[in-house]
Amino acid sequence: MTMRIGRRLLGGAIAAAAALGFAGSVQAQDKKFKVGVIYDLTGPLAGGGSELQYIGAKIMIDSFIKAGAIEGYKIEAVYADAQSKPDVAINEAVRLVEQEKVDMLLGFFSSAQCVPVAGRVEQLKKFMWITTCISSAVLENKNYKYVFRPQASGNQFGLMTMDFIEQNAKSKFGKEPKDMRVAIIHEDGAYGVDVAKGNEAGAKKAGFNVVLKEGYSATAPDLSALVTKLKRARPDVIFHTGYNPDITLLLRQAREQGLKFGALVGHGAGYGVYEKLKEGLGADVNYFFNTDPISIWLTNAKTLDAKLPPVIKMVGEEFDKAKPGVAIRSAHVGMAASNTYLFFTEVLPKAIKKYGGVDPDSLRKAALDIDLPEGGTMLGFGVKFLGEGAPMAGQNERSFPVVIQYVDDKSYVVWPKSQAMREAVLPLPKGTTYSNQ
């Protein structure tokens, strides 16, 4: 799979990269900077968004490779498949460090993999750049020196969606927040647990009536018992964190059992892959919500650093070559592309020029130096990493997700208001499969 996708991605990346001025130096020397890239290319997480993250990262890495050396260092990438398994992710990380002799590790889709891998990489004293996984448990109270995440954290996802519903309770549902019945359901790995904690905290702050909170295994073969509990609980809004097969299974069984609700709010992962949702559920995905860093194709170009819109265009063109005919370019692609671009434009050049090399300490110092305002990344947010001593050391404190809604094969940002493209459709319109109207 890696080679097949890789060949499709090459296309016009060379010309695009040169035109955008990615290279930091035109003089290629013998020095190499070797990047180990880990995503899930097989197993259930591949279709849940990890393969799309891989494509986004690879588009960007290929662009830098083709553009030439960065400050005298040629870029080389070694790709590994975590196979949707935490133990494989750990083994591959160690293999890339000890056998392939990579200078850093980049990627990581699943929080269940990120938590143990981050601990192992820190032990190995190697630099780790997380493009994707969001669990707060990856960094919270760990005080890691070499693990950095420009991505928003899971707690932010959970809080954001509760605030979204609270602010729309009266105007859309005709209810005070205290009268809103909400259910929080989640896969029981590090990812789902973390987002659910944010949901709980946000529900408490809003004063919602939490009628059900329950976790389940993402690999469960049957979720009908959970559907039965949801039917009894009669929630106005279901807040769900899941991957892909489990989302499809849950909602198919909900349809069969006649579960009704006012809104379904998802949190990244499987909810970020519209093609898979549509494949599994058809038109029933209409009006569902997803929470993720904004799609780079939905950011307001006028609010971004002027050099970023041409890069976004290039990523879109390369993705269309790799995956022709996709209705909605997944936010997963742009997420990995943006966070990879950030490393190669802000961290690596500074590590070499200011700190003298590509060793973990030079990369670390360069990462801590980043100070980008809002609009400084393709994802719209700025970048400033929390340093040693902070409870979330290594986390980008300026990152944030947005809430989008799928309407008629298009996605629209509906929250926060500063980023909104249109008003949210709430509750589910009468006549739709799950509507309780």
Given CATH 3.40.50.2300, say whether it is the number of domain 2-152+297-369. Answer: yes
- Give the count of beta carbons closer than 10 Å to the beta carbon of residue 340: 26
Q: Would you state the pLDDT for residue 20? A: 52
Domain boundaries, the chain: 2-152+297-369, 155-291+402-415
Amino acid, single-letter form, for residue 387: G
Cα gap 236→262, rounded to integer Å: 5
Contact 80, 92 (CB under 8 A): yes
What is the DSSP secondary structure assignment for residue 397, as one 8-state letter?
T
In a 13 Å sphere around the CA of 71, the CA atoms on its Cβ side amount to 16
Q: Would you state the pLDDT for residue 409? A: 94
Cα 344 to chain centroid, rounded: 19
Topology alike, domains 2-152+297-369 and 155-291+402-415: yes
Cα gap 193→272, rounded to integer Å: 18
For residue 170, the cross-strand partners are none
What is the DSSP secondary structure assignment for residue 303, as one 8-state letter?
G
Which of 213, 196, 147, 224 lies closest to 396 in space, CA to CA? 147
Beta pairing, strands 209-216 & 181-187: parallel
Amino acid, single-letter form, for residue 398: R
State which CATH number among 3.30.9.10, 3.90.1300.10, 3.40.718.10, 3.40.50.2300 fits the domain covering 155-291+402-415: 3.40.50.2300
Query: Is the model's pTM score more than 0.85?
Result: no
Q: Would you state the pLDDT for residue 85? A: 96
Helix (H, G, I), strand (E, B) or coil at 423: coil
Q: Would you state the pLDDT for residue 17? A: 47
Q: Assign residue 420 a region: left if phi > 0, alpha if psi is -120 to 50, beta otherwise?
A: beta
What is the DSSP secondary structure assignment for residue 153, as one 8-state letter?
P
The values of phi and psi at residue 338, to 5°, are -65, -45
Number of H helices, E strands in the chain: 15, 12
Which of 143, 55, 7 lies closest to 319 in space, CA to CA? 55
Rg over alpha carbons for the chain, rounded to the nearest Å, is 21
Both tokens of 426, joined, read 């709430």
Q: Classify burial at 141, counting beta carbons within 10 Å of its beta carbon; exposed 0-12, middle 13-18, buried 19 or more.
A: exposed
Q: Would you state the pLDDT for residue 315? A: 98
Over the chain (437 residues), the average pLDDT of each successive run of 10 is 44 44 48 97 92 98 96 97 97 98 97 96 98 94 97 90 97 97 96 94 97 97 98 98 94 98 94 92 96 92 93 97 91 96 98 98 98 95 95 95 95 89 96 96
Q: Would you state the pLDDT for residue 10? A: 43
End-to-end alpha carbon distance in the chain: 45
- Where do runs of H (alpha helix) occur along 258-347? 274-281, 308-322, 331-342
CA dist 299 → 149, 275, 412 (Å): 21, 21, 10
Q: In what order do the strands lie in the sheet with 181-187?
A: 209-216, 181-187, 237-241, 263-267, 289-292, 402-407, 410-415
Q: Would you state the pLDDT for residue 154? A: 87
